[in-house]
Structure 1
Amino acid sequence: MTQQTVYRLTKANSSQGLQTFQEPIPEIDKHELLIRISSVALNYRDVAIANGKYPFPVKENVVPCSDAMGEVAKVGSCAQGFEVGDKVVVAFDPTALYGTIDNWVNALGGPKDGVLAGYVNVSYQGAVKLPESSLSNAQWASLVCTGVTAWNAPFGNVPLKPGQTVLFQGTGGVSITGLVLAHAAGAKRIVTSSSDDKLELANKITNGRGVDFILENGGSGTIKQSIDAIAFGGVISVIGFLSQASQNEMPDMAGLALSKGCVVRGIIIGSRQQLGELVRFVGAKDLQMPVEKTFGFDREEVINALEYMSSGQHIGKVCITVT
């Protein structure tokens, strides 16, 4: 077989702009792996890209989606540590091996073609081999963007310690995945469905001290409430932009951060190193990642998956099984 099914966004105005193409299976160079995709996990980012609302660069006719689990089909002559048949996940930015992702030009499914296809080729350094476990293909795929974000927030700067308290906003993929990770790490967890609940819950559960970590999904519209709820010296990880404040209502971030001596850090997913750390943590504890619903690989099913993701009805991850 030399051809594969590939999805491309021919118009960035809705998921209806997604079209199927028959294209050659990629050739690989000596440093690459050819990966047969088994499962793709969706993110809010994929919906924003499909609707033309993503605030960062997107290439024309892009193959969407960044999160995939698959099986190694070919190994380049210099691709160390992999064999045909190995199960792997691919990093969100395969060039960001350590530290912080420092640009927006190499991420899959946006500035670079993504993983909504039968096969992808990727540098072996951008892939992580999976351990034996009871997790499904979809559960492993869900770690790439959502999982690494949820890992980076409490462990990527000042590491979370057992007994500390973490607050999550909403019930989307990052929050629910973060709950699983925080529980396994021995932390106390708070989930709020609206920003108004933050301060009351944080004060009640921590006896007025505030929480140690917050995963901030709202952005500028809810950041003030997060600083009100954070403990002195705590960490607020800004991971989303679901609630935007108008320019004349922007909070005084400098003054607010100073008032609590807290860290406010933007999270750009995470590196291949952090994906490896997360895979080892999840595999060692056999953590069951939250996948709510899976869809098929034909065009109607893929569009339904994107629209279901856009509806906000999900708790946990929405995935596509690639055949």
Structure 2
Amino acid sequence: MAPTTTKQWTVAGKDGFDSLKFEEKAQIPKLGDHDVLVHFHYVSLNYRDLIIPKGKYPFPTKDNVVPGSDGAGTVEAVGSSVKSFKPGDKVLTLFNQAHQAGPISVAIVGTGLGGVIDGALRQYGSFEESGLVHMPTTLDFKEGSTLACAALTAWNGLYGLESKALKPGDTVLTQGTGGVSIFALQVSREPLPCRPFEAAAVSISTLGILQFAKAAGARVIATTSSAAKAETLRKLGADTVINYKDNPDWGEIAKKASPHGLGVDHVLEVGGPKTMAQSLKAAKPEGVISIIGFLGGMSKEQPSFLECLNNIVTVRGLLVGSRLQFQNMNEAIDANGIKPVVDEKVFSLEELKDAYQYMWDQKHFGKLTVKIDAAPKL
């Protein structure tokens, strides 16, 4: 018998973390023909989760939504028409539920999990079959829960623009030690043929890009704020590390650190207005800056569109990635033995407010996870 109730959190209002409300026995709707009921085991948090209850998220949201876009769990039951999944399968949630393949659209932006559509911070949740993917076989549920937003954003940033996709020998610039940036580092780690005089840089949440870039045979230039984090980045494979607190003009330094000082080809920008000027300085002519966040906050002091012309760069905005990209990324994760970097601190579902505050205070390293329910022994 499938469960009929679930523990869950909802976001009621925009008064900060006090807007998070816990329900002990929320009703689980009847499963539709194309629906899959998932029993969640782990959820990882993103900066987006923290700013939705603060009313600062720029994309669509709804009142009383169940938060959390990045869930990993086991299929509990399936509708009569479901073909891709069966009970017992290990699955992950798709960030934008309608983004199956190809370019994103306005309609797709309105299907964000944990923003408009009820998310993963609950014991059980039903999703359309197309809103899930199989979890990589080489990862456990805690590791798998980190992929839906940070990892897929890193993957899209490096490979989403096909004409300028990351290639061996490129140089990747990462920003900070968040989930996206570390993923980007690891994917570059495979010893693939290297053309040392080509440079590409990605400025993003460092721990995601770092993984992907290294697996692809790329060089990595990373920025961070402390000596301890710098040492960890070097252990993870970063070739050059720049302390941006000691070197506020880190864009020029990154450019000089690229082969022949020509600058970087790809910048994945997570800081937003406060770091964009440095990203422009780091980019080489015909480089690409992919904007995926604004961790540095909002500011009126930011470059104008004219700077794109002055620096001869392409600037693109991206919102995570498609289901097809997710599936391709998971194959690469299994093939390369990539393991997400996960913070040692794990919170329970009931401790969600504490988890939000822990992440808001920037006490985490890598991805921060919430344990929902123990996985069944299959």
Q: TM-score of the superposition, structure 1-length normalised?
A: 0.93
Residues 213 and 235 in structure 1, CA contact (< 8 A), matched pair in contact too: yes
Among 150, 160, 163, the residue aligned to 2:169: 163
Among 147, 150, 161, the residue aligned to 2:151: 147
Tell me if 1:37 matches 2:40.
yes
- Residue 131 to residue 45, structure 1, CA distance change in 2 (3 Å): closer
Query: Shift of residue 274 of structure 1?
Result: 1.2
Residues 64 and 116 in structure 1, CA contact (< 8 A), matched pair in contact too: yes
Tell me if 1:282 matches 2:282.
no
In structure 2, the residue matched to 1:127 is 132
- Read off the aligned partner of 1:119 and give its amino acid letter: Y
1:254-269 matched pairs, under 5 angstroms: 255-269=306-320
Query: Shift of residue 205 of structure 1?
Result: 3.5
For structure 1, the 5+ residue unaligned runs are none
Tell me if 1:320 matches 2:364.
no
Tell me if 1:302 matches 2:307.
no
- Read off the aligned partner of 1:231 and give its amino acid letter: K
- Read off the aligned partner of 1:8 and give its amino acid letter: T
My pick for the range that moved more, 199-208 or 152-161, is: 199-208
CA distance in structure 2 between the partners assigned to 1:26 and 1:139 by the alignment: 29
Among 176, 182, 203, the residue aligned to 2:213: 182
- Read off the aligned partner of 1:109 and give its amino acid letter: G
CA distance in structure 1 between the partners assigned to 2:169 and 2:325 by the alignment: 23
Tell me if 1:81 matches 2:84.
yes
CA distance in structure 2 between the partners assigned to 1:220 and 1:65 by the alignment: 26
- Read off the aligned partner of 2:118 and give its amino acid letter: D
SS in 1 for 2:167: coil
Query: Shift of residue 245 of structure 1?
Result: 5.9
1:55-134 matched pairs, under 5 angstroms: 55-103=58-106, 104-133=109-138
In structure 1, the residue matched to 2:195 is none
In structure 2, the residue matched to 1:201 is 254
CA distance in structure 1 between the partners assigned to 2:349 and 2:157 by the alignment: 35
CA distance in structure 2 between the partners assigned to 1:24 and 1:220 by the alignment: 42
Residues 26 and 119 in structure 1, CA contact (< 8 A), matched pair in contact too: no
In structure 1, the residue matched to 2:273 is 220
- Read off the aligned partner of 2:140 and give its amino acid letter: S
SS in 1 for 2:328: helix
In structure 1, the residue matched to 2:57 is 54
Query: Shift of residue 44 of structure 1?
Result: 0.3
My pick for the range that moved more, 287-296 or 238-247, is: 238-247
The CA RMSD over aligned residues, in Å, is: 1.7
- Residue 47 to residue 123, structure 1, CA distance change in 2 (3 Å): same
What are the superposed Cα offsets for residues 173-206 of structure 1, whole Å, 9 maximum, x if unpaired?
1110110111111111111133522221331242
SS in 2 for 1:101: coil
CA distance in structure 2 between the partners assigned to 1:246 and 1:308 by the alignment: 25
Residues 90 and 134 in structure 2, CA contact (< 8 A), matched pair in contact too: yes
CA distance in structure 1 between the partners assigned to 2:255 and 2:147 by the alignment: 28
- Read off the aligned partner of 1:223 and give its amino acid letter: M
My pick for the range that moved more, 77-86 or 192-201, is: 192-201
CA distance in structure 2 between the partners assigned to 1:31 and 1:246 by the alignment: 45
Residues 250 and 278 in structure 2, CA contact (< 8 A), matched pair in contact too: no
Query: Shift of residue 19 of structure 1?
Result: 1.9
- Read off the aligned partner of 2:11 and give its amino acid letter: L
Counting matched residue pairs gives 319
CA distance in structure 2 between the partners assigned to 1:18 and 1:250 by the alignment: 33
Query: Shift of residue 289 of structure 1?
Result: 0.6
SS in 2 for 1:288: coil
In structure 2, the residue matched to 1:173 is 179
Among 9, 13, 16, the residue aligned to 1:14: 16
Query: Shift of residue 246 of structure 1?
Result: 4.1
CA distance in structure 2 between the partners assigned to 1:180 and 1:228 by the alignment: 24
Tell me if 1:23 matches 2:73.
no
In structure 1, the residue matched to 2:291 is 238
- Residue 252 to residue 289, structure 1, CA distance change in 2 (3 Å): same
Q: TM-score of the superposition, structure 2-length normalised?
A: 0.80
Query: Shift of residue 294 of structure 1?
Result: 4.3
CA distance in structure 1 between the partners assigned to 2:357 and 2:273 by the alignment: 26
In structure 1, the residue matched to 2:194 is none
For structure 2, the 5+ residue unaligned runs are 182-206, 225-243, 374-378
Residues 349 and 370 in structure 2, CA contact (< 8 A), matched pair in contact too: no
